[in-house]
A and B are shown apart, each in its own frame.
Chain A
């Protein structure tokens, strides 16, 4: 059995050849694209300016790939932020040809369309840290303000857990999509309310507030009300839904905010979103193990 597992799997030669050809095709330079990049270091520069670089791009090249080539070969001082390179950390969100996108997930040719210029600038509605990197301090403060963690009142169970908390699939489905948020800031950047009202909590934080409030394991509605039910909280959302339009993870923060409003109005009439979930008794756990 072990020797069978160790056997190397060899692709049939025709498949191998086809795969190699497809890969070569993907990385063959196909077009020259001009990159127009925003440059500004608030500690040094008097005003922002634009810098242009031309690059031969292939079909598979992402905007982040191009930026790293430019940084490595043409402008070492270029400031940008990235980490996972696979659309999971949200660090490389920026304005690509005027739209909030993840640089690591956007192919250059897709961004350029029929034109031959790709314009890159930092996210709107954020202060500039340096060049393409935005300052996320207030974004994370707003996120932290809604207490994005499970709040419980049963200290005994919390400190000495007897089992996991009960939750049905339907209850999980109520907040599932919001767990996909990677905190990239694209939604806040696209929000017209956030553009004028810098105190506005923003789609990301409000959708996360909703995510935790409807989680049956959470009992923190009353703790979060003073944060979200304020002059600069969920009521300032005008439902333009531009936040949901740009979210690279397919989260719908605009919907989360409207559901949060509904929940707050229902709360006025005494309705609570749910009863706090109980922990599964230890016996059930043991039975399941058998």
Chain B
């Protein structure tokens, strides 16, 4: 993937974090929205799945950027990107599992 695509997604995920994070906060703090969400658990799970994906992408890409600047060796750059991708996917799978259990889907 071109670096511009990765960084474009970095900016998009930042916006997604704000939107889905806000929905998450309102669901837990606003009684009216909270009640709506309780009536539609699948929607809430969807929101949280997007929130978690965006958050992990944004955070892990940030770590990747720091690492490739600190270890600029071109050969290491590839390894760092792959390692971060694998750790990110595993973390997402575990996070999703936790979310599903917490929301009573599994």
Q: What residues of chain A have their CB less than 8 Å away from a CB belonging to chain B? A: 193, 196-200, 225, 229-233, 235-236, 261, 264-265, 267-268
Is residue B8 contacting chain A, with contact meaning CB distance below 8 A?
yes
> How far is it, in angstroms, between the C-alpha of A261 and the C-alpha of B74 when the chains are bound?
22
- Given A232-B77, A235-B7, A268-B8, decide whether A197 and B2 contact each other with a Cβ distance below 8 A: no
Is residue B65 contacting chain A, with contact meaning CB distance below 8 A?
yes
The answer to whether B2 touches A229, judged by C-beta atoms less than 8 angstroms apart, is yes
> Secondary structure of the B side of the interface?
helix
In the complex, which residue of chain A has the Cβ closest to the Cβ of B80? A231
- Given A199-B72, A200-B72, decide whether A236 and B65 contact each other with a Cβ distance below 8 A: yes
**Shortest beta-carbon distance, A257 to chain B, in Å?**
13
In the complex, which residue of chain B has the Cβ closest to the Cβ of A267? B4
Please, which residues of chain B bring their CB within 8 A of the CB of A193? 69
Q: What residues of chain B have their CB less than 8 Å away from a CB belonging to chain A? A: 2-8, 65, 68-70, 72-74, 77, 81
Contact of A264 among B4, B65, B69, B70 (CB under 8 A): B4
The 7 A-B residue pairs with the shortest CB-CB distance, nearest first, are A199-B72, A197-B69, A197-B72, A264-B4, A235-B7, A229-B4, A235-B3
Most buried by A among B6, B68, B70: B68
Task: A230-B3, A232-B68 are known; give 5 further A-B pairs, CB within 8 A.
Answer: A196-B70, A231-B3, A231-B77, A236-B68, A268-B5
The answer to whether B72 touches A229, judged by C-beta atoms less than 8 angstroms apart, is no
> How far is it, in angstroms, between the C-alpha of A233 and the C-alpha of B7 when the chains are bound?
12
> How far is it, in angstroms, between the C-alpha of A145 and the C-alpha of B69 when the chains are bound?
20
The answer to whether A197 touches B8, judged by C-beta atoms less than 8 angstroms apart, is no
Please, which residues of chain A bring their CB within 8 A of the CB of B69? 193, 196-197, 200, 236
Contact of A197 among B5, B7, B68, B81 (CB under 8 A): B68
> How far is it, in angstroms, between the C-alpha of A232 and the C-alpha of B73 when the chains are bound?
10
Please, which residues of chain A bring their CB within 8 A of the CB of B73? 199
> How far is it, in angstroms, between the C-alpha of A30 and the C-alpha of B7 when the chains are bound?
56
The answer to whether B68 touches A268, judged by C-beta atoms less than 8 angstroms apart, is no
Please, which residues of chain B bring their CB within 8 A of the CB of A198? 72
> How far is it, in angstroms, between the C-alpha of A265 and the C-alpha of B4 when the chains are bound?
7
